[in-house]
Amino acid sequence: MTFNEVKEALSDQFPGSVIQNDDLPEGQIEINSENWLEVATFMKTDPKLSFDQLECITGVDTGDDGPLQSHYNFHSMEHRHKVEIVINHDRKEPKVASIEQVWRIGDWFERETFDMFGIVYEGHRDLRRILCPDDWEGWPLRKDYETQESFHGILVPKIKEEEGWE
């Protein structure tokens, strides 16, 4: 299937879930976060789509007051087509349904995105930090991230770009 056929198949099955966004580059589909789990299950199980491989989940911080985004890369081994799903989150309360039980690899991908961006994947059975220590403060890949001052009594020297050492 071509990209447009995939997009049509999704919007036929879930009218209202696919958001028309002309700013997105070719290959990306924006999905409403409301019934993402059903859409994802359909993408996996529908024989025409059959997205059997979840390649990556990553987060994007669009900066300032813009939303946080989850990007999902799907690939179908069977039909050899691929698509990227974009979901926007509210910056204050970023959350979306977990697809960890649809694609098992989603477990670690979602934990990593949670670790770096603080996006909560609801329904994930083990949503802990995966790279940072459990008691780390803040979400490092967000644009407004501030490094913590000390970690277990170890001073973290802050370096500002123009002024040098603080």
Q: Closest CB to another protein among 92 and 152? A: 152
Binding mask 28-57 for another protein (x = CB under 8 A): ------------------------------
Closest CA to 87 of 126, 121, 55, 111: 121
Closest CA to 24 of 79, 54, 69, 58: 69
Q: Closest CB to another protein among 25 and 165? A: 165
Residue 69 tokens read as 């985004």
Report the residue from 77, 157, 162, 163 that binds another protein according to the rule CB under 8 A. 157
Helix (H) or strand (E) holding 38: helix 36-45
8-12: which pairs have CB atoms within 8 A and are 24 or more residues apart? 9/46, 9/48, 9/49, 10/39, 10/42, 10/43, 10/49
Rounded to 5 degrees, φ, ψ at 38 are -65, -45
Restricting to residues 105-134, which ones interact with another protein according to CB under 8 A?
132-133
Please tell me whether residue 151 binds another protein under the rule CB under 8 A.
yes
Report the residue from 23, 161, 163, 166 that binds another protein according to the rule CB under 8 A. 161
The count of residues interacting with another protein (CB under 8 A) is 14
Please tell me whether residue 145 binds another protein under the rule CB under 8 A.
yes
Q: Which residue has the tokens 């609801």?
A: 122
State the Cα angle at 143 between 138 and 145, rounded to 5°.
25
Please tell me whether residue 154 binds another protein under the rule CB under 8 A.
yes
Residues in contact with another protein by CB under 8 A are: 132-133, 136, 140, 145, 147, 151-152, 154-157, 159, 161
